[in-house]
Structure 1
Amino acid sequence: MRLRSRLGALDRRVFAAVADARLPGLERLLPALSRAADHSLLWAGVAGGCALSGRAPLRRAATRGLLAIGVASPTVNLVCKRFFGRSRPSLEGFPLARLIRVPASTSFPSGHSASAAAFATAVAMEAPLPVAAPVTLLAAAVCFSRVYTGVHYPGDVFAGAGVGVAAGVLTRRLWPAVRLLRAARIRGMAPGNAVNEAEDD
């Protein structure tokens, strides 16, 4: 109980420092980014762009990203939030100009962070670095925005991101990544036609 109390106090102190911060140039951008990620619309848009690119790796990245969100989002919103039931942070004394609509759901873990991390993790398995890196940075910005706008504690965000990463990794069980198949082929562990079929998607 003592450790839990200390972690809770640290969580609240970090929240207060972030929510009370002044970040010139980001005062409007981060709330807008946070709103854009509502209902995973931001990630659906990124997935749509990848799908329309005409490149097989990006189409696979889009599909895997949405699949990962399909695992992470219900896990957090339908299971974890109901189980833990943590209240949202108190915004008393913090700048209300940055305040976005506070969700009615409980706080732990963060659903936005889970979806962001799930999508970024899944995309990184398929997409080349010039695409995967910006998506990862965008996901990190969404996670940070949830604390900055005052709707989540940092602990909520880290827990949500952890669920998201796990969901992204889990998609390998549901649909092996081409990179994994190629590596297995090199080691003589996978038939060559499996890779060829995957690369022709």
Structure 2
Amino acid sequence: MHDLAALDGALYAAVAATDTPALDAGLRRLSRAANHSKINLSIAAALTLVPGRCRAAGLAGAASVGLASFTANLLGKSLVRRPRPDRESAQVRVDRHVPMPTSASFPSGHTASAFALATAVGTILPAAAAPLGVLACAVGYSRVHTGVHYPGDVIAGALLGSTCATAVLALGRKLTDR
């Protein structure tokens, strides 16, 4: 476990040390836009306005985001209670900063929600899988780039979000098979 924590810290420090001025403002905006699952729920809501598979994808996406948010923010963070990274000691550039959340760091709720949406919608609408997967990865990376999460928090959030979507889709199939 100690080796994983050391690797996580080293990856965090490497991201902080990498000079990327062309990305900083955009990733900061993306990170903020993902607060409270605004991006994910907006996409899900837009999909529900289109009949057929799009509506089903939107509903499954919204349910998956809800389950992932609940699981990450209310269960995961309260059980693990990992402290947030120390941006100042890692020397994360101030122009990358977003407000530091007061909740625990593990897992990343932003990432869990983004991967829940990408998995649920991408399963029902395969053409949406790649763009939503890229968006989910970008949201996850933005959380490390802005200094509010370790990479391990983001990886855990991605796995959690995908798992929640898989559970929602399985439950949906069971209910429709009746």
TM-score, structure 2 as length reference: 0.92
Structure 1 spans left out of the alignment, 5+ residues: 182-189, 195-201
RMSD between aligned alpha carbons? Answer: 1.7
The equivalent residue for 1:111 is 109
Residue-by-residue CA offset, 1:120-144 (whole Å, 9 max, x unaligned): 0001111131x22211111110011
Counterpart in the other structure of 2:79: 83
1:24 shift after superposition: 4.3
Superposed displacement of residue 32, structure 1: 0.4
* Count of aligned residue pairs for this structure pair: 175
CA distance in 2, matches of 1:115, 1:99: 21
Partner of 1:199: none
Tell which structure's C-alpha radius of gyration is larger.
1
Query: Match for residue 52 of structure 2?
Result: 56
Larger helix share, 1 or 2: 2
Q: Which runs of 4+ in 1 moved over 6 A?
A: none
Instruction: Give the superposition deviation at 1:84.
Output: 0.8
Q: Provide the rounded CA distance (Å) in 2 between the counterparts of 1:44 and 1:120.
A: 12
Give the corresponding residue for 2:34: 37
Compute the displacement of 1:158 (Å): 0.5
Select the residue among 153, 157, 165 that pairs with 1:168: 165
**1:149-184 per-position Cα deviation (integer Å, ceiling 9, x unaligned):** 00000000101111101001001222029xxx9xxx
AA aligned opposite 1:77: N
C-alpha separation between the residues in 1 aligned to 2:114 and 2:19? 24
For 1:27 and 1:167, locate their aligned partners in 2 and report how far apart those are by CA, in whole Å.
Answer: 30
Alpha-carbon distance between aligned partners in 2 of 1:162 and 1:19, rounded to the nearest angstrom = 24
Distance change in 2, residues 1:134/1:55 (3 Å): farther
* TM score, norm. by length of structure 1: 0.82
